[in-house]
Structures are given as structure tokens and as C-alpha cells.
A and B are shown apart, each in its own frame.
Chain A
Amino acid sequence: MATASPSVFLLMVNGQVESAQFPEYDDLYCKYCFVYGQDWDPTAGLEEGISQITSKSQDVRQALVWNFPIDVTFKSTNPYGWPQIVLSVYGPDVFGNDVVRGYGAVHVPFSPGRHKRTIPMFVPESTSKLQKFTSWFMGRRPEYTDPKVVAQGEGREAPRKAVFSVHGLTSPRALALVHIKGT
């Protein structure tokens, strides 16, 4: 192994954000991004993406299908900080303001092969009834400063004051095809 190029292993993630079940909402789009540790570095592909807006299917399933592709390659020297996909789903509220409908995160699968993951999504809740009303009225729901916090450990203790509501148990599915290739 040449000393010039330090040895790394590669993690290739191919997949797609398939669909979601948000029984209450329609016309949603989703954003994905990756959270990874210090020893990780994206080498190819897109780390972030915003999907198209999708409408509910008209059948009983009422699935919101995006089939939004994910394709990214990481290189790393350390399994610590294994990448996590952070998904956040947004959609218009009654007044047409874009509000967040769910946050969720899941680790990129650890073994190669086809995997299907279902992530429960949640949103932070307003701290008081009044705020709930005003946020509904103004179309400014509580949001994370950064969706990435859902995949991080820091500051978890802070929202202890806050209430989280799980907006139903809604589930976008991320299908990830992971190839791990060591060099």
C-alpha cells in the first residue's frame, strides 16, 4: 500500500426514499441528509437532497410515494460515526405555509445487501397551548434548528422541557443498497 494514499474503506449507499405513510397530510416532500463522524468523508454523490412534492395515492394505502434516489459514497477509516440518514418531511398546512411534518433518522445499514428501513417520524411540539395555537395560526411550527440534531447525542437533555408528539406513527421507507468496499 502506497504511503501516499492512506488506506480507507468505502461505503457506497444506493437507495431511495420510497414512500411514506402520513395519514393526516398530503402533498409532502422530504429532505434527506447524512450525519457522520469525524473519520468519515463523502467522496462522491450527493449528501443532501430535496425530493419532489408527492400526493397521496388514491387507493386504500394512501401512500406518499417519492422513490427519491439516494446515491452517495463515503470513505472512512473508522466505523465509529457510521453515517445516519436524516429525513425530514415538510408539507403545506391549511394556510399554505410549509411546515415540518416529521423528523427521523436511521443508520445506514451495516451489512451489504438490500435493506428496507421504516422510520417513525416525529415533530417537536409547542411548549404551551397558546403557542400551539399561534404557531398553527402563523404557520410557524416549532422546528429543529437543524434536522441533524435528531441524529446527534448533543443537547438531548435540553428539550426535556419540551413535549414531543409523534405525529401518528408515520413511516417513510428508505431502501438502501449498501456496498462496503475496503481497499
Chain B
Amino acid sequence: MVSEKSHRGNRQEPVQEEPKTHLLSMTVRRGPRSLPPIPSTSRTGFAEFSMRGRMREKLQAARSKAESALLQEIPTPRPRRLRSPSKKELETEFGTEPGKEVERTQQEVDSQSYSRVKFRDSARKIKPKPQVPPGFPSAEEAYNFFTFNFDPEPEGSEEKPKARHRAGTNQEEEEGEEEPPAQGGGKEMDEEELLNGDDAEDFLLGLDHMADDFVSVRPADYESIHDRLQMEREMLFIPSRQTVPTYKKLPENVQPRFLEDEGLYTGVRPEVARTNQNIMENRLLMQDPERRWFGDDGRILALPNPIKPFPSRPPVLTQEQSSKAELETLYKKAVKYVHSSQHVIRSGDPPGNFQLDIDISGLIFTHHPCFSREHVLAAKLAQLYDQYLARHQRNKAKFLTDKLQALRNAVQTGLYPEKPHQSLDTIQKTINEYKSEIRQTRKFRDAEQEKDRTLLKTIIKVWKEMKSLREFQRFTNTPLKLVLRKEKADQKADEEAYEAEIQAEISELLEEHTEEYAQKMEEYRTSLHQWKAWRKAQRAKKKKRKQAAEEHPDDEIAEPYPEEDLVKPSPPEPTDRAVIEQEVRKRAAQSRRRPWEPTLVPELSLAGSVTPNDQCPRAEVSRREDVKKRSVYLKVLFNNKEVSRTVSRPLGADFRVHFGQIFNLQIVNWPESLTLQVYETIGHSSPTLLAEVFLPIPETTVVTGRAPTEEVEFSSNQHVTLDHEGVGSGVPFSFEADGSNQLTLMTSGKVSHSVAWAIGENGIPLIPPLSQQNIGFWSALKKADAISSIGTSGLTDMKKLAKWAAESKLDPNDPNNAPLMQLISVATSGESYVPDFFRLEQLQQEFNFVSDQELNRSKRFRLLHLRSQEVPEFRNYKQVPVYDREIMEKVFQDYEKRLRDRNVIETKEHIDTHRAIVAKYLQQVRESVINRFLIAKQYFLLADMIVEEEVPNISILGLSLFKLAEQKRPLRPRRKGRKKVTAQNLSDGDIKLLVNIVRAYDIPVRKPAVSKFQQPSRSSRMFSEKHAASPSTYSPTHNTDYPLGQVLVRPFVEVSFQRTVCHTTTAEGPNPSWNEELELPFRAPNGDYSTASLQSVKDVVFINIFDEVLHDVLEDDRERGSGIHTRIERHWLGCVKIPFSTIYFQARIDGTFKIDIPPVLLGYSKERNMILERGFDSVGSLSEGSYITLFITIEPQLVPGESIREKFESQEDEKLLQATEKFQAECALKFPNRQCLTTVIDISGTTVFITRYLKPLNPPQELLNVYPNNLQATAELVARYVSLIPFLPDTVSFGGICDLWSTSDQFLDLLAGDEEEHAVLLCNYFLSLGKKAWLLMGNAIPEGPTAYVLTWEHGRYLIWNPCSGHSYGQFDIFCPLKNVGCLIGPDNIWFNIQRYDSPPRINFDVTRPKLWKSFFSRSLPYPGLSSVQPEELIYQRSDKAAAAELQDRIEKILKEKIMDWRPRHLTRWNRYCTSTLRHFLPLLEKSQGEDVEDDHRAELLKQLGDYRFSGFPLHMPYSEVKPLIDAVYGTGVHNIDVPNVEFALAVYIHPYPKNVLSVWIYVASLIRNR
């Protein structure tokens, strides 16, 4: 113990010292050792006590051993230090080759010993040797030991290399050194003792001897190799390479536990050679007795293999030159990519040389519709017999009986063993096992025997049935014959065996029962015991309670009994032997052949004869005939393609078809499926597919000749009923006379075939190479990758996959294989669950961070969602708030309301119900149309994105050359084309509307304030001049009222658009010239500047003409000289309305427009013919009124959406459609600018020939009754009626650029439409009035391409504007129609091929083919197309009450609006005036706004004499309230801010049939005169 300690202490030291002191190593080394450094008392005591004795011993030994011993002892500390570690290290390093190692260590040892010997020799030479007794350290030596420094010693030089040698390996050595402490222990001990001895010796002798005495002379060191090895063996441990027995690696009495067997995944252990593993185990065992390095299974603990299959880091290059080599470019030839799909045999392989041989030998029907009853039975019998044969061959019952016998014998021998060498325990155990097995086997055997017996019984039963059937029908159809062979057995022996069997069984059962009984008895006893104990306890308790109850009687009630009463167990019944015997016998009788019965062996033969046809009844004969007619053939389908078919063979009477054909399939594609289709032909009818049979593709090892013939069953689900003896298929039938016990059989059968790979001429199997590779080279890979080894087709074949999994020994516990294993288990278990849906984002659920409901509840999400859906309310919603709480609930209110009201008709907005319905309907149509054109809308052209100069042609080049010579600043500048801008990149403020107001003509002029008594003379008017707006001005009397120099009118123009108002400066006179450009910003709804959105802008540009009137408000004449006090008043004169959509589509509007002047303009008159110079002017113009010249455009120019040139489906004749295309192409070629229309799209989106729209239609009878004799007046009334139907462009109503034509009834129902609907309706009315009328397609201002109506009246043509109801003569220069493209009549189309197209310059005589190209001509006669229009238009009378109600409501709304517009002023309503005005309005309607002014004026003057009155009636068709409000706002009546102003407003609605409403609004302001 002590020595161990000291040793340890010493061992540590040299590690630190060595580097410094290796020169003196000898002494120094010895120093620490020899000094008594350890303070342990026991040690010193021990040292003192044993010093002398030991020294003596030592001396003794030293003397006797002499030189050799000395040599061994003295250098020990030193060489040990040196050698052993190095050896150790070598061992650890070269552990695998210990043979070499041994040699090496020996060499080393030799050299060292040699060197030491040398040293000793040299030392000896130097010092004269005093005769010291050997074994004693000389005095000098001893002295030196403590004092001397051995510096000049040659040892140093020798030590150095050693030390150096060690330096390199130091670390490991030290580590290694500690490893084998145990084995080195014994040796160390000795050494220690020796050392101690030496020390003591030195210590003692050091004083006595002289220094010289200590020098000793020794012989050369030598130790025999044997000793050396011996020593090494003691010191070193060489782990064995033998396998370590498991028990050593495990704690005592512990069985190894294999996790893998328990079903846990253990992973793959890193691969280590077995020997290495053994060595390691041995080493570990030696080193670490606690065995913590070993797992439960007795193997070294290991993590799964951490090594990657491929290095992820490039190898570290040792040499410098390699860096250059690394950068060198390597040329590698391009490798042709080989398509790795398994479907196709590789392109690199020799093509087409693979062959599948399909041998189809025949076909047997197990059921066929033509089966007779007998056949059915025969088939059944055959089947049963087959089954019997199969069972017989297997003979399971026999096998089980034998097994039972064997088991019984085993039990017998086990119970009475001959040599009881095993413990009784184990015997009992095995016997018990046997017994349970016997029980099991017996059960099986009984079942088998019973099955055999029942099968036999069934066979006999079927045969009997067949026999009886044959007897009954008196003919035989099948040659089947069953013979039952009786095998007589020895009855006695049989009986004995039977009895023995029963006895054995009884005894076994009895035994079982007794066992059971014993068990039960045991149970009973324990339970009885328990019960008794309980009872006792109970009694004791009761007693106690009684006592307690006496003391505290109350407690009793409160104490319920928690434990229920135990029932006294009843003892089990012992079993009765007789009962068991009875049972066994009964069972035996059921399942087993009785001993006295002979063994029956059925034999089925075809020996029977079939009754010939002439002896059969008719039905049977016809059945046989039918069978003869039938023939069967098979189609061979390879990869679902028919490759060949067998010959058609007739069906035999036995329903067998023999083909015997072999098909050699030369294949290119990898076989995926092989199918046979069974076709049956009856007589000459076409073949019917009976069934499909899928053949398995053969294994690659199956080649021709080796393939077995297999039978594949098929069945068909066809239902066949036959009128003869045949039982049919899928039809229930019965063998019984009463029809009970019905059977339903389906056509089924078997195909016998064999499929194999062919063998080529030279004996090479013609199998696709891929499969060959699979066998050999790929096999390794195959194991790794399921898909490559099975092939893609295999993946669908679960069985194949399962097979592969079994073959490759997949670890079912490996998490990597989990999905595969699951798949396989599902597939093999048969209950494969194939989902009938395809999930695109299986992982979606994982990423749903909140539930859908929660997400939907989020307002923010909802808002974002709606915005991205482009719901109109939210389309351009900006800055969606971050938090839900910041989103106001009201944001959704509008939207939700709209959704709610989709089907609810809301009358508030639209005031009258019909229009509300229409609005809804329109909305729906619009939605559907938008959906239809959604695709086309997202189409951008190159030009939308990129600005590019067009390809120059000669003319452009020429022009550009010409331009070079052009003046830089021409005197008369022309408008240049501008860049077009696509709508997409625009934002608010980018678009401006430019309105250039040039000049106006014939503005009404002021009338001086006439005396109230002036009565204009009505007589001066001529009736014929109904167009004259202000006939009274003819009266020259007014002229005198004008002072000559006075300004007649000071007009200015105000343009209001989207509530932005701009106005020009004020000009003077009735023909002012402004030439001013006004700029109005345009804002798209919701900031959405897409084409679709711009198209549906409903805003209208109002161009209002006002008269600026200055009123002198100066109260005091005296101040007149010093100041001007005037009030500016503006009086509305008229307006021009241009819808924005028109501007948008026309890009620019340039022309002179008629100003819409109210029929009554109080205080103003048209000064016509008054001024002389205008006199001649008016002669030519039939039209009256004022005109204004305008130029309107949008800056920048927007590109209107392209109309969709899409073909729509059509019900027209194909020939007609072709003709229209041809016609249009021809026309476009000649006059590309002229509008030519042949087909249009109706509201449901189909193409319709245009003439179908024209057909005489009756106007409302009400209108016809007004002027029964005046056709002209009626025509005008009708035109007015049509114009009262509101105008709504298609783009607004339907979205997208598509011109949808609705029929007249649809138009009247919708009460909205654009020019063509108006024109069609008007034209149809005119036709019904008996006029000659055409639809005129052309260009007009401001509408652009439009439709007008042309009529022929009294030798002149009239052009009707259907939207305004005005008519113009052909030569009217103010006619808005500017050019004519084509005319359309009810039965033809005429295209204008004249040189000019402006109406005054063309001839409207369509009969002249030189001027008009007609569509239907002699070559293509009019086919008599039916009209799409209804037979008759039905007009409901308008509801007068509803109109009156509407009238009140509108009036109220307008009044409120006017008050709203005047927030800073008090708005007073002059009720008296209002009622007067209300009285006037019906008159205006009656006279259509003409001829009433003077009466009116007089009336007004009479009643409101004290007031300065300015006001006017507005007339509009009614569509919605908003336009009315806008119109009133546009007049600017509310702008008067004279303090004492009063207003009057009256509304009158005149209902026309079909809810067409004419709205009159009379608005006026009154200022009291003083």
C-alpha cells in the first residue's frame, strides 16, 4: 500500500522535471526517490523497522547475484522511464501488428542495454577501480550520488537523442502510462523495495566509506531475451484478439438485452473490424472494471455511424505546388445525359430486341349465359371436386392427426421419463406446453376433419341433384359422372382406433377440467378466506358500533357502509366424466367418419354420354344452337395498346375454347401492363367485351420454356337473359320447382396462359437490359433506393414494394423508413386506404397559425382580402390600418348593405320601383358581362408598355423629309398628335380635361324690363315656324327699347366637371368669341385609373353659358361720382352636356354644338333677324337656337380600351357569317374610315345579323291618339318619346368595350341604352307608321360613331337624332351627323361607296348600286331572316299616382339640395311663385316646350309684378335623381347671394307609357323690386 503510494507520487514528478534535468537524470532521478519525501508516519516507521533486515537481505542477494543483479537493479529507474513508455506508445500505435512490435521493442531494448553497457565500460576506464565488495555502492558513488554533478559525462550525448525521441511522444506516453497500473503494481512494489534498500544503504554507508570506495566495476549489462520478455509480459498488457464472452461484459446475472429485438430502433453502428473491436473490448475490460463502456446488449456503446458517405471537405494538400494544380482547368468530355426513366428502354441500348412470349392456350368458362342448369351443377361439381382433390393432396387432417399422436407420445414419455436427469420443474413446464399444443392441434384437426366431411357431403349432394335433374329433364348435357368408391377397412381395428381416440380425448379433457377445477378451487378458497375475514371484521365492527350507538345513537345514521357486502363464494362444480364423454362422442360423430362406415372416395370422370340433339326438347336444342353460334377471341393489350388478337374460335359444347397461340411481342417500352380482353361474338353481330384479364409481367428470370402455364380467372358483370334453356348471366334462377333458393351467377371463367421472356437465337434472353442490370450491378443500389429497384411501375404495385422491402431487410424501426413501412403495411394488410382526393398543399394545416374562423374574424384580413378581390368599395382602399381596433365597423357597412340588398329592391335611392328593379337587373347583366370579358381586360399590348417609333414607310419618310423644309413657327399652327398614355400608370392629378371654348353664336339677348302691361301679340307668329324658340322677338316694338349702345348680353362660359368649376372671361354680344382654354382636373372613381374603371365614369361635363348682369346697388346717387357699387348677377342661358365617356372614347371633341336653351328663358329673347348683317345668315339654316364651338380633350391622351375582337358563338347561318366577313373586309378595304356594321352582339353575347333588329313595331297607342291625322306631328311625338328614354352608354352599363345591342323590348324594360337602341326603336316606330326609314350608321359630334335614323318624307330626307328627338334636314349644316357609313333596312345593308360621306353631299338613293353597295344582291338573295324583335310591344299605362309621388319627392330633395348649397345664406321659398310655376309646367309638357313663353311671361308678370324674376324650366328624361341635381346645380341659381332673394322650384313629371318619365324642373330666383 505504502509503496503504491510512493510510487504514484514519484511517477508524477519526472514529467515536470525531465526537460530540465535530463543531463543529470541519473542522480536527480534518484534523488527524489531516495529522499524520504513522504511524511507518512507509517512509512517511516516501517522504513526504520525494516531497514536493517532488508539491507542485510539485499546485500546477501547482491553478493550472490553479482554482476547481473547489479546491472538489473541500478539502472532500473532510468531505463524503465525511458523504455516502458515508448513501448507503451508503440503498442498503442501499432496495436494491430503486435508481431512487428515485439521485434521492435526487442531491438530497442538491445540498443539501450548496449549503450548502457558502453557507458559503464567507459566509466570504468576512467576511474581506477578501488576494490569494493560487489554489491556495495562505493563511497565515491555514494558521495557522488548526493553531491556530484555529472556534467562531463558522455552519458549526456546519449541521453539527448533519447530525450528528444521522447519529447515527441511525451504526451501520449504520460497518458498511456497511467493505463496499466494494476498489472505493473506487483513489479513496482519490488522495485520500490529495492530502491528503499539502496537508499538506506547509501544513507548508512555514506559516512563509512570513502568516495573512491563506491566506484564499482560491473560487467556489461545484459539481460536475456527471455527475461526481457518475461518482464515485459509482467509489465505490459497485450489485449487479446479473442472475442470476449458476453458474460464478462455484463454485470453478473444479467442477460444481454437486445433493443433491436424489442422493436426499438438502434441505428447503424459504425463499421469496425471484428478484431479491433475485440481488442478494444478486452482493453476496456482490463482498464475499466465497471463495464460502463458496454451497453445492455454486451457490445461497446456506439453512436450511429457519423461518417458521411461523401467527403464534404476537399483533402488537405500537403505540398505547396498543389495550389497551382488546383486551379488548373480540367477538361472533361461532356457526358450525354441518359434519360433515367424506367418507362423507356434507354436510347443507348440496341433498340427493339426484346421480346415477350405470350402463350394463350385456352379459355374455360366457369359460368356462361348459355349454361343449362345441368351445366351450372356440373361446374359446381367440378369445382368441388377440384377442391376435394386439392384438400386430399394436402391431407391436412392426416397431418394434424399425426402431429397429435406425436405430441401425445411426447407427453407420455415426458411424464414417465426413463432418465430423469432434468429437474422436475422443466419437465412440468414442457409437458404443460405440450398439452396446450395438443389442445390446439386437436381443435385444428377437428375443424379440418369436419371440413373434409362436409365437402364430401356437398359433392354427393350436388351429384344427387344433378342426377335428379338429368332424370327430370330426360336428357344429359354434360359427360360428368361421379363414382363413389367405397374403401372397406378393417372394422374392428377401425373401431378400436376410434374408441382409443375418443378415450384419449376424454382423458385429456378430463385432465383439463380437473386442472381448471383445481384452479377454481384455489380461487374459491382464497375468496372464502377473504369472505370469512371480512365477516369477522364485520361482526366486530357491528359490535363496536352497537357499543358506539349506545353511546352516541346519532352516529349510526351518519355512517354509511362504504364496502359492499361480500357474497359468500360458492364452491365450483366438479366435472363429470360422463358429461364429457357424451360431448366428445357427439362431436366425433359429427366430424368424423364412424368406424362402421366405409371410407368414401369420390371420382369424377367424363365418361358419361351426352344426349344427342334429336332426343332433346326444343328449348335445349335452341340452347345448343346458340352455343354453336358463339365464338370467342382474345385481344392482347400491352401497355394499354392492342398488339394482337387470337383467332376467333367457336365455343364448344363444354364451354372450353382452345387457342394454343403464342404471341411474340417485340417490345420497346418497358412493360407496365399486360391485359387480355375476352370478346364474344354471337353469330355475325359485333363482338362484345366480356371481361378483362390482367396478366402479371414475368420476372426477368422467367424465360420461354420455363414458364409454367397459369390460370387467371376473370368474370364479367354483364346481364344476359336468354329465351332458351340457358340460365343467362346475372339473372336469378332456381333449381327448385317452386322458385325458391335463387341463384345469381355471373359470367366467369379462366384463361390459361403463360408469359415469359423470349430467348434469342444465341440463347440470350431478350430481356430489357435494365432488368439485367437490376440483377447484377444494380443490386447494391437497389437495396438503397426503393424507386430505382422496383421501377416506377413497381411503386404503384404495393405487393412488389412489400416484396422489395422484405428482401432488402428494411429496418421497420428506422425513422427514415417510416413512411415507406407505413405504406407497405397498409398495402399488405389489404385494407389499403387510397384517398379519393388530391391534396395540393398537404402541409397547409401545419402553417395555419390561426384557425380559419379566427382569420375571417379579423377585420384587417377581411379588408385586405376584399381589396385584393377588387370589390368596388375597396378596390383602391389606401392605408389599411394595422390593427383591427382601428378599422371602423362602418367601413364594411356599405359593402354589407349592398350584399344584403342584392335581391331586395331599394326604393330610396331610385325613388320609383321600376327603375330600382331595372338598376338591379342592369347590375346583374353588368356583372355577367364583366366576368365574360375579364380575361381580355388583362391584356397588355407591347405599345402599352414600350414607346417605340413605328416602322417608317415611304410616306412617313417623305413627310419627314418634307418637314425639314417646314417652317419652324408656322403662322397657322395645327394640332399635333400627342403621345398616348396607358391608363395604368396614372394617379390623381395626372389627368386634366382641357376645354377650349372658341366662340358661340346666337346667344339669347336680354330683354329690357318691359312694362307689365305689355301684351305680346300672338297673331304675329306663324304656326309653321315651330322651331322658332322666341318668335316674339320678331316684333319690332321691342327694338325701340334697346338703347343703341347698350350691351345686349355679356355671356361667359362656365365649365363644371366633377364639381370643379372653371369659367371664361366675360365677352360681349350675342356672338361672343372667347378662345379660352380651361383646365379641369379629372379624378377617377376610387383613384382607379385602369381602363375598365375609366370607361365606366358616368360624369358629365356641363358647359353652361351665363349672362353676367351688373346691377347697380348704389343706394345713394350722391356717391355715384366717387364709387362703383354694383352687384354681379349671373343668369343662366343654356348648357351643353357632354358625357365624359364620349370624350374618353373620342379622345377629342371638336365642333359646334347646339346649346340646350330652356324653352322659356325669362328676360331673354333670341334677337333674330334683328341685326341686319345676320339677316341673310338665318335664311339657310332651318335649325334655330344658339351654338357654341368647342374643343375638348383629355391631357394626356388616354388610350381607350381596345374593343374585343373576339368571335362569339352565333346561331346565324355559317354562309351568312362568311358573307358578312367578306362584305366587311371589302368595305374596309375601300373606305377604312366608314363605319360598316353587319353583325352585332346581343345582350346574351351571341352574334346576330343586324337586320334582324329592324321590324315595324307599334308605338304606344296613347301617342298615336294625340294627333290622329297628322303623321308629321305623330312622328315628332314618337321621336320625343324615344328621346325621353335615358341615354346610358354600353361601356357604363356593361363595362368593357363591347357594343351590346338589346332588342327594343329589352330596351324599354331597361329604360336605358345608347344610340343604337334609341335608333332601332325609333326606326321601328317609323316603319310601323308607314314611313320609309333606315338605320343610319355614321359619325356624329359629339358622340363619334353612332346610329341615327333616316326617313324619307315628302321628297326629302330627314335625319333624326334618336337621343335628342330632333330631326334635321339633309342639308342642315348644323346637323350633328358628320358622315355616313352605311344604311340598314329591315332586309338589307347598304354601304356608302360614294366619294363623300357628309350628309349634304351624298345621295341617299339606295337603289343605285354605284353609290350604295348592298349586302344582299342577286348573287346572295335575302334569305328572309326572322326578326329578333318581339311581335308586338306591350305598353303598360304609367302609374300617375306614382309619378305624382315621385314628383313630390324630387321637389323636396331638390329644395333640400339648394339649401345645402347655400350654407351661408338663408334660403327663402316663395310659395306663391312655386305654385304658379307648378301650374305652368304641364303646359310646357303639352306644348313640348314651345310657344308658351309669352303667355307664360304675361302670367308671371301678372302675378309676380313686384319681383325681378330670373328662372327657367329644365327638361330631362328621368333616370335617376343625381342627374337632376347636377343639372340644377349647373344652372347656378343658388349662387345668388342678394340678401332678400327668394326662390321658387317646381317639379312636374309627366308619365308616358312604359314608365318613361319626362321631368320638368322649374327653378327661379326672385328679387323684390323696390
Q: Which residues of A contact B (CB under 8 A)?
A: 3, 6-9, 38-39, 41, 76-78, 80, 124, 126-128, 130-131, 134-135, 138, 140, 142-146, 148-149, 152, 154-155, 157-159, 161-162
**Known A7-B881, A7-B883; contact A162-B946, beta-carbon cutoff 8 A:** yes
Residues B985 and A149 in contact, CB atoms below 8 Å apart: yes
Complex: A178 Cα to B80 Cα, angstroms: 73
What A residues does B877 contact at CB under 8 A? 38
Residues A124 and B886 in contact, CB atoms below 8 Å apart: no
What B residues does A124 contact at CB under 8 A? 946, 948
Mark each residue of chain B from 947 to 971: 1 if its CB lies under 8 Å from any CB of chain A, else 0: 1110110000000000000000000
- Interface residue? B1009 (CB, 8 A): no
Q: Which residues of B contact A (CB under 8 A)?
A: 864, 867, 876-883, 886, 939-942, 944-949, 951-952, 981-982, 984-985
Residues B878 and A39 in contact, CB atoms below 8 Å apart: yes
What B residues does A130 contact at CB under 8 A? 951-952
What A residues does B940 contact at CB under 8 A? 154-155, 157-158
Residues A127 and B948 in contact, CB atoms below 8 Å apart: yes
What A residues does B949 contact at CB under 8 A? 131, 134-135, 138, 140, 142
Residues A149 and B945 in contact, CB atoms below 8 Å apart: yes
Complex: A76 Cα to B882 Cα, angstroms: 9
Instruction: For residue A48, give the distance in angstroms from its CB to the closest CB of chain B.
Output: 13
**Known A38-B878, A146-B985; contact A131-B864, beta-carbon cutoff 8 A:** no
Which of A6, A41, A126, A148 is B985 in contact with, Cβ under 8 Å? A148
Instruction: For residue A79, give the distance in angstroms from its CB to the closest CB of chain B.
Output: 10
Residues A78 and B880 in contact, CB atoms below 8 Å apart: yes
Residues B886 and A7 in contact, CB atoms below 8 Å apart: yes
Instruction: For residue B868, give the distance in angstroms from its CB to the closest CB of chain A.
Output: 9
Instruction: For residue A31, give the distance in angstroms from its CB to the closest CB of chain B.
Output: 15
Residues A158 and B881 in contact, CB atoms below 8 Å apart: no
Residues B945 and A39 in contact, CB atoms below 8 Å apart: no
Closest to B878 in A: A38
Residues A144 and B878 in contact, CB atoms below 8 Å apart: no
Residues A77 and B951 in contact, CB atoms below 8 Å apart: no
Instruction: For residue A150, give the distance in angstroms from its CB to the closest CB of chain B.
Output: 10
**Known A6-B881, A7-B886, A38-B876; contact A158-B864, beta-carbon cutoff 8 A:** no
What B residues does A76 contact at CB under 8 A? 879
**Known A38-B877, A39-B880; contact A155-B947, beta-carbon cutoff 8 A:** no
Complex: A130 Cα to B954 Cα, angstroms: 13
Instruction: For residue A155, give the distance in angstroms from its CB to the closest CB of chain B.
Output: 4
Residues A158 and B941 in contact, CB atoms below 8 Å apart: yes
**Known A39-B880, A41-B878; contact A135-B942, beta-carbon cutoff 8 A:** no
What A residues does B951 contact at CB under 8 A? 128, 130-131, 134
Complex: A159 Cα to B947 Cα, angstroms: 11
Instruction: For residue A134, give the distance in angstroms from its CB to the closest CB of chain B.
Output: 5
Closest to A8 in B: B882
Residues A159 and B945 in contact, CB atoms below 8 Å apart: yes
The secondary-structure label for the interface of chain B is loop
What A residues does B867 contact at CB under 8 A? 38
Closest to A3 in B: B886
Residues A159 and B879 in contact, CB atoms below 8 Å apart: no
Complex: A126 Cα to B948 Cα, angstroms: 7
Give 10 pairs: A residue, B residue, CB < 8 Å, sorted on A. A9-B882, A38-B876, A38-B877, A134-B952, A140-B949, A142-B948, A143-B947, A145-B945, A149-B945, A159-B945
Residues A145 and B944 in contact, CB atoms below 8 Å apart: yes
6 A-B pairs with least C-beta separation: A155-B940, A158-B940, A146-B985, A142-B948, A77-B882, A143-B947
**Known A8-B879, A149-B985; contact A78-B948, beta-carbon cutoff 8 A:** no
What B residues does A138 contact at CB under 8 A? 949
Residues B879 and A77 in contact, CB atoms below 8 Å apart: yes
**Known A6-B886, A7-B881, A77-B882; contact A144-B944, beta-carbon cutoff 8 A:** no
Instruction: For residue B1054, give the distance in angstroms from its CB to the closest CB of chain A.
Output: 34
Further contacts, 15 of them, CB under 8 A, given A142-B948, A145-B945, A158-B945? A7-B886, A8-B882, A39-B879, A76-B879, A77-B880, A80-B864, A124-B948, A144-B945, A144-B947, A145-B981, A154-B940, A158-B940, A158-B944, A159-B946, A161-B942
Residues B879 and A41 in contact, CB atoms below 8 Å apart: yes
Complex: A85 Cα to B877 Cα, angstroms: 23
Residues A131 and B945 in contact, CB atoms below 8 Å apart: no
Complex: A80 Cα to B880 Cα, angstroms: 11
Instruction: For residue A28, give the distance in angstroms from its CB to the closest CB of chain B.
Output: 20
Closest to B1087 in A: A38
Closest to B982 in A: A145
Instruction: For residue B320, give the distance in angstroms from its CB to the closest CB of chain A.
Output: 32
Closest to B952 in A: A134
What B residues does A39 contact at CB under 8 A? 878-880
**Known A3-B886, A148-B985, A157-B940; contact A135-B948, beta-carbon cutoff 8 A:** yes
What B residues does A140 contact at CB under 8 A? 949
What B residues does A128 contact at CB under 8 A? 951
Closest to B947 in A: A143
What B residues does A131 contact at CB under 8 A? 948-949, 951
Residues B881 and A142 in contact, CB atoms below 8 Å apart: no
Residues A145 and B947 in contact, CB atoms below 8 Å apart: yes
Complex: A47 Cα to B985 Cα, angstroms: 15
Closest to B957 in A: A134
Closest to B887 in A: A6
Closest to B960 in A: A138
Residues A158 and B948 in contact, CB atoms below 8 Å apart: no
Instruction: For residue A132, give the distance in angstroms from its CB to the closest CB of chain B.
Output: 10
Instruction: For residue A144, give the distance in angstroms from its CB to the closest CB of chain B.
Output: 6
What B residues does A135 contact at CB under 8 A? 948-949
What A residues does B941 contact at CB under 8 A? 158
**Known A7-B886, A148-B985; contact A162-B942, beta-carbon cutoff 8 A:** yes
Complex: A179 Cα to B931 Cα, angstroms: 44
Instruction: For residue B223, give the distance in angstroms from its CB to the closest CB of chain A.
Output: 76
Instruction: For residue A124, give the distance in angstroms from its CB to the closest CB of chain B.
Output: 5
Complex: A7 Cα to B1242 Cα, angstroms: 51
- Which of B881, B882, B941, B981 has its CB near the most chain A CB atoms (within 10 A)? B882
What B residues does A152 contact at CB under 8 A? 984
Complex: A130 Cα to B949 Cα, angstroms: 11
Instruction: For residue A97, give the distance in angstroms from its CB to the closest CB of chain B.
Output: 12
What A residues does B881 contact at CB under 8 A? 6-7, 77
Instruction: For residue B1088, give the distance in angstroms from its CB to the closest CB of chain A.
Output: 11
Instruction: For residue A64, give the distance in angstroms from its CB to the closest CB of chain B.
Output: 25
Complex: A80 Cα to B863 Cα, angstroms: 14
Closest to A148 in B: B985
Instruction: For residue A50, give the distance in angstroms from its CB to the closest CB of chain B.
Output: 18
What A residues does B947 contact at CB under 8 A? 142-145
Instruction: For residue B956, give the distance in angstroms from its CB to the closest CB of chain A.
Output: 10
**Known A128-B951, A145-B985; contact A7-B946, beta-carbon cutoff 8 A:** no
Complex: A7 Cα to B885 Cα, angstroms: 10
Complex: A143 Cα to B941 Cα, angstroms: 14
Complex: A124 Cα to B878 Cα, angstroms: 32
Instruction: For residue A8, give the distance in angstroms from its CB to the closest CB of chain B.
Output: 7
What A residues does B985 contact at CB under 8 A? 145-146, 148-149
Instruction: For residue B873, give the distance in angstroms from its CB to the closest CB of chain A.
Output: 14
What A residues does B946 contact at CB under 8 A? 124, 142-145, 159, 162
Complex: A128 Cα to B952 Cα, angstroms: 12
Closest to A131 in B: B951
**Known A38-B876, A131-B948, A140-B949; contact A7-B882, beta-carbon cutoff 8 A:** yes
Complex: A155 Cα to B864 Cα, angstroms: 23
Complex: A154 Cα to B886 Cα, angstroms: 31
What B residues does A80 contact at CB under 8 A? 864
Instruction: For residue B942, give the distance in angstroms from its CB to the closest CB of chain A.
Output: 5
Complex: A144 Cα to B952 Cα, angstroms: 20
Complex: A76 Cα to B880 Cα, angstroms: 9
**Known A39-B878, A39-B880; contact A155-B886, beta-carbon cutoff 8 A:** no
Closest to B885 in A: A3
Complex: A123 Cα to B1413 Cα, angstroms: 50
Instruction: For residue B979, give the distance in angstroms from its CB to the closest CB of chain A.
Output: 8
Closest to A5 in B: B886
Closest to B956 in A: A134
